[in-house]
């Protein structure tokens, strides 16, 4: 499974280490992802999603049902 948030679509990004002498070496900025279970009361079931911490905050604010509807329409990562 790729390191991609199923709600926001966030993924790993490339960048540079920069030393004091301004020498640059390639590195990877990893997305802060975690696997989390959410309960959907309308369907009376649990789902497991791989989400970023920003997505967890959004789910806490808007609710899982609203976020899932929005994610299916925009990112297409959830089926």
Which one has a higher pLDDT value, 75 or 69? 69
In angstroms, the CA 10 to CA 4 distance is: 6
Phi, psi of 38, deg, nearest 5: -125, 145
The pLDDT score that the predictor gives to residue 2 is 84
Q: Quick: pLDDT tens for 53-72.
A: 999 999 999 999 999 988 88
Distant-in-sequence, close-in-space partners of 11: CB < 8 Å, separation ≥ 6: 2, 3, 4, 5, 31
Q: pTM for this structure?
A: 0.81
Q: What is the largest CA-CA distance in the chain?
A: 58
Show the domains of the chain with their CATH numbers.
13-74 (2.30.170.40)
Q: Quick: pLDDT tens for 6-42.
A: 999 999 999 999 999 999 999 999 999 999 999 999 9
């Amino acid at each position: 499974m790729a390191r991609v948030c199923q709600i926001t679509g966030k993924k790993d990004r490339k960048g540079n280490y920069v030393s004091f002498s301004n020498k640059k070496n390639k590195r990877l900025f990893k997305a802060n992802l975690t696997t989390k279970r959410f309960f959907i009361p309308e369907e009376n079931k649990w789902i497991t999603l791989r989400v970023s911490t920003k997505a967890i905050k959004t789910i806490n604010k808007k609710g899982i049902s609203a976020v899932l509807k929005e994610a299916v329409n925009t990112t297409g990562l959830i089926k």
